[in-house]
Amino acid sequence: MDRGLSRVLFVDLSAHRAHVEERPELFRARLGGTGVAIELLHELCPEGADPLSPENPVILAVGPLSALFPLASKTVALFKSPHTGNLGESHCGGRSAVALRLAGYGAVVITGRSDIPVYIVIEGGKVHFRDARALWGLSSSFTVGRIIWERESGSGFRSILRIGVAGENLVTYANVVAESYRHFGRLGLGAVFGAKRLKAVVIIGKGRVPVADGPRYSRLYRELHGRAVRSELFKKYHDLGTPQNVRPLNAIGALPVRNLRENRYPDEPPFTGERMAERYLGRRLACAGCPVACIHLAALREPYPDEPFFYKTTFVSYDYEPIYSLGTMLGGQDPEGFLKLMEAVEHLGLDAMSCGVVLAWATEATERGLISGADTGGLVPRWGDYGVYIQMARRTSRWPGGSPRGRGSSTTSSPGASPRPRRATAARSSPWRSGGTRWPATTPAPGPTSPTSWGHATPTSTRPATPWTKRTCGRGGSGPRGSSPGPSSPRRPGARSSPRSSSASSPGDSTTSGPPPGASPS
The pLDDT score that the predictor gives to residue 30 is 87
Within 13 Å, how many C-alpha atoms sit on residue 483's CB side?
18
Going along the chain from its start, the domains and CATH numbers come out as 4-210+446-469 (3.60.9.10), 223-397 (1.10.569.10)
Closest CA to 69 of 242, 211, 184: 211
Q: Please name the residues in contact with 137: beta carbons below 8 A apart, sequence gap of 6 or more.
A: 165, 168, 486, 487, 488
pLDDT band at 510 (very low <50, low <70, confident <90, very high): low
The pLDDT score that the predictor gives to residue 140 is 94
Within 13 Å, how many C-alpha atoms sit on residue 106's CB side?
28
Q: Is the pLDDT of residue 79 over 90?
A: yes
Q: What is the dihedral of CA 253, 254, 257, 261, to 10 degrees?
A: 80
**pLDDT tens, position by position, 156-189:** 899 999 999 999 999 999 999 999 899 999 999 9
**pLDDT tens, position by position, 445-503:** 333 333 222 322 333 333 333 333 333 333 333 333 333 333 333 333 333 333 333 33
CA 349 to the chain's CA centroid: 7
Closest CA to 190 of 41, 90, 61, 123: 90
Mean pLDDT of 103-129: 96
The pLDDT score that the predictor gives to residue 458 is 30
Could you tell me the pTM of the whole model? 0.79
Closest CA to 382 of 352, 373, 374: 373
Mean pLDDT of 393-401: 76
Please tell me which residue, 430 or 33, carries the higher pLDDT value.
33
Give one DSSP letter per residue of 400-439, joined into a string.
Answer: GGG---GGG----PPTTPPPPPB--S-SS----SS-S---
Q: Which residue type is seen at 86?
A: N
The pLDDT score that the predictor gives to residue 514 is 53
Please tell me which residue, 11 or 483, carries the higher pLDDT value.
11
The single-letter DSSP state of residue 497 is P
**pLDDT tens, position by position, 329-388:** 999 999 999 999 999 999 999 999 999 999 999 999 999 999 999 998 899 999 999 999
pLDDT band at 515 (very low <50, low <70, confident <90, very high): very low
The pLDDT score that the predictor gives to residue 257 is 98
Q: Is the pLDDT of residue 410 over 60?
A: no
**pLDDT tens, position by position, 266-319:** 999 999 999 999 999 999 999 999 999 999 999 999 999 888 889 999 999 999
Q: Please name the residues in contact with 150: beta carbons below 8 A apart, sequence gap of 6 or more.
A: 480, 481
The pLDDT score that the predictor gives to residue 452 is 26
Q: Which residue type is seen at 115?
A: D
Mean pLDDT of 54-81: 96
Please tell me which residue, 433 or 113, carries the higher pLDDT value.
113
The single-letter DSSP state of residue 350 is B
The pLDDT score that the predictor gives to residue 509 is 65
By the 8 A CB rule, do 189 and 88 touch?
yes
The pLDDT score that the predictor gives to residue 505 is 31
The pLDDT score that the predictor gives to residue 89 is 97
Instruction: Look at strands 107-111 and 198-205 and give their pairing.
Output: unpaired
Mean pLDDT of 114-120: 98
